[in-house]
Each structure stands twice: as structure tokens, then as C-alpha cells.
Homo-oligomer: A and B are copies of this chain.
Amino acid sequence: MIQPMPFYGGIDLGGTKIQAVILDDNNDVLGSARRPTPTSGGPADVAAEMAIALRDAAKAAEVEPAALAGVGVGSPGTIDGGSVTSARNLPGWEGTFPLARTLQDELGCEVTLGNDVQVASEAEFRLGAGRLYSSLLVVSWGTGVGGGLILDRKPWRGRGGAGEIGHVVVEINGARCTCGRRGCMEAYAGRAAMEAHVRKLHEQRGRKTDLFKLMKEHDRTRLTSGIWARALEHGDKLAIQVIDRAVSALGAGIASAVNVLDLEGVIITGGLGIRLGHPYAKQIAAAMQPHLFIDSRPPHVHVAALGDLGGATGAALLVEHDREQALSA
């Protein structure tokens, strides 16, 4: 029997947005859709938005969700089979939620879960800016700061929790992180931490900035990557100062990982990483340089080539991977 050419769905569940894509067998994007991540409610509300995003992408690709070979999901939090536990940065998601089963019932096709940053990393390694390298750190600079490692052309997950580059210590007894610890890179560079920091400087210390005015003008409830980008373009001094502090922390933390692993490449992705793009990847590379033990051959630093769609594309690759294993079994 000749199989019809399979289509794959992928959903990237981020702290700010939900991105869905439909890919064909050549990993070409047939359709995509995006929705904001709910800021209130709970896991069921988030899952409902994810299903809508996937259906919208399927509609754009002119395919029924139930006809997909499967849907992959890149999720924050702890993935255990079909469940997601304590997905920080998502509303009311401290406990365990059966995300795969919920989406399966909703969409009528198989759903596979993976770690959001790990799937995005594998997409950049297989299809994006990491294709030339055998060892790679993908840094997701967004609401939080996550990471994915490729070592010797294979994902490195350690005991399942590797890649937490956002929680590398850059200042002993430093700033309080959203994770509760002190001095983590994310405490300086995560979008959520940067927003809290700049709000304090603005509201409590009277520092001037247009960030919150821009936020209201663009009808946002938080300082999105786009708001930061606009403030930087306008030369907003406080925005520049807080981004410089983030870049300095990213430089130190990524250089630390490079000193331990002597990696060939570093890929910057995530909401801020993609939106701020090449000039800021160059700044991060410059901020790494003074901390690199072997400074004569720094790793190559790139912005993610798959852009905004990297996470969802990587999620779709989860389905391909499952399918290849099933076909070869």
C-alpha cells in the first residue's frame, strides 16, 4: 500500500506566545498560526488556545488536524510521558496536567511532548544555523533563559535535565532569580526579570523610560520583545542600560559553558534573541570574549536561522522521529 505523503503538526508553547506550524515531509512549512499565551486561568485554558492555534495553522495548510501524522509539542516544565508538571511562566500550572491526552481528544491525532528548548535546539542543529557544527549550545533568550546542548551530533540531556544555561551562576549572592535562587544568568537576562527590574527602577527610583508608554500604545500587558526592540531603536537610555546588563550576563554565562565544553557553535534564539537579531548576537559574542579561556578561537555565534518558527518546527520533528522509529521497528 502506498502511503500518502505525511504532514506533521508542531506547537511551541512559550511564556508569551503559542506558535503552531504544519510541515510536509521535506520539512517545508505549509501553514502557521500564532496566538498569545493566556495570562490567567489554568492549563486547560492554555491547552484550548494551543488547539485553536494548531487548527488555524492546519486551515492555512488546507489539511484536517485529524489527517496529520501527529502533532509534536515543545513545552516548558517537566515532561513525563504525556504530562507536563510545574511549567513556570504559564498561568496556574504548578501541578501536573495531562497535556497530550487533552490535545489528542481535541485534535483527533497522536500528540507527542518534548522539552521546548530541546526541540528548538534540535531543529536548529538539523535544519538551521547549527547544521555546520558537531557541538552546539542553543540559548533561548526569552521570558526565561533556557538552553539545549548538542554534543558529538547528538542531543545531550544528562539525567534528563541538562541545558539549564539560564541558571548558571554569574554573581554569587547576586540578583534574585524567578526560580528563587540568587545570581543566575536569567535573573539579569530573562525578559520577566528585566521587566521587574526596569519597573522597580522606573516606579521606585524615578528613572525615566518610554518602555511602559510603548507597552500601552501597543496594547500590551507586558514588555514584549517587540516593545524592548522599539525602545532600543528610540534610544531609550534605561532600556539600553538594562539590555546591556542582560548582554553582559549572557556573555559571562555562555562563556562559562564554553570554557567547560569547548563548543564549536552558539545559537541565540527565543523571543528576545530572534527579535533583537544579529546586532545583539554580535554584542553577546563580544561580551563572551573577555571570559573565554581559549580566546584565540571563540565559538561561532549565530542567531537562530529558523527564527520564530524554530520551536514549532522542532516540535513537529518529534513526530517524524516517533514515526521513523515505528516504521523501522
Whole-angstrom distance from the CB of A169 to the nearest CB of chain B?
A: 4
Q: Which of A148-182 contact B (CB under 8 A)?
A: 149, 151, 156-165, 167-172, 179, 181-182
Stretch at the interface among A105-113, A247-255, A309-317: A247-255
Given contacts A179-B293, A182-B290, whether A151 and B156 have CB atoms under 8 Å apart is yes
Q: Are A169 and B172 in contact (CB under 8 A)?
A: no
In the bound complex, how far is the Cα of B149 from the Cα of A169, in angstroms?
19
Q: Are A262 and B162 in contact (CB under 8 A)?
A: yes
Chain B residues near A183: list those with CB within 8 A: 252, 291
Q: Are B170 and A172 in contact (CB under 8 A)?
A: yes
Residue of B nearest to A158 (CB): B262
Whole-angstrom distance from the CB of A116 to the nearest CB of chain B?
A: 15
Chain B residues near A182: list those with CB within 8 A: 290
Partner of A151, one of B151, B160, B184, B291: B151
How many copies of this chain does the complex contain?
Answer: 2
Q: Are A168 and B259 in contact (CB under 8 A)?
A: yes
A263 at the interface (CB under 8 A from B): yes
Whole-angstrom distance from the CB of A294 to the nearest CB of chain B?
A: 5
A218 at the interface (CB under 8 A from B): no
In the bound complex, how far is the Cα of B183 from the Cα of A252, in angstroms?
9
Q: Are A135 and B158 in contact (CB under 8 A)?
A: yes
Q: Are A170 and B167 in contact (CB under 8 A)?
A: no
Q: Are A163 and B260 in contact (CB under 8 A)?
A: yes
Q: Are A172 and B294 in contact (CB under 8 A)?
A: no
Partner of A156, one of B255, B261, B290: B261
Whole-angstrom distance from the CB of A280 to the nearest CB of chain B?
A: 18
A321 at the interface (CB under 8 A from B): no
Partner of A162, one of B160, B181, B260, B297: B260
Chain B residues near A290: list those with CB within 8 A: 181-182
Whole-angstrom distance from the CB of A187 to the nearest CB of chain B?
A: 12
Contact with B along A124-164 (1 / 0, CB 8 A): 00000000000100000000000101010000111111111
In the bound complex, how far is the Cα of B159 from the Cα of A157, in angstroms?
20
Chain B residues near A159: list those with CB within 8 A: 135, 262-264, 297
Partner of A157, one of B149, B169, B252, B262: B262
**Chain A to chain B contacts (Cβ below 8 Å), 7 pairs:** A151-B151, A158-B263, A159-B297, A164-B293, A168-B256, A170-B172, A260-B260
**Given A149-B260, A165-B259, A171-B172, 5 extra CB contacts under 8 A:** A135-B158, A163-B262, A169-B255, A172-B248, A172-B252
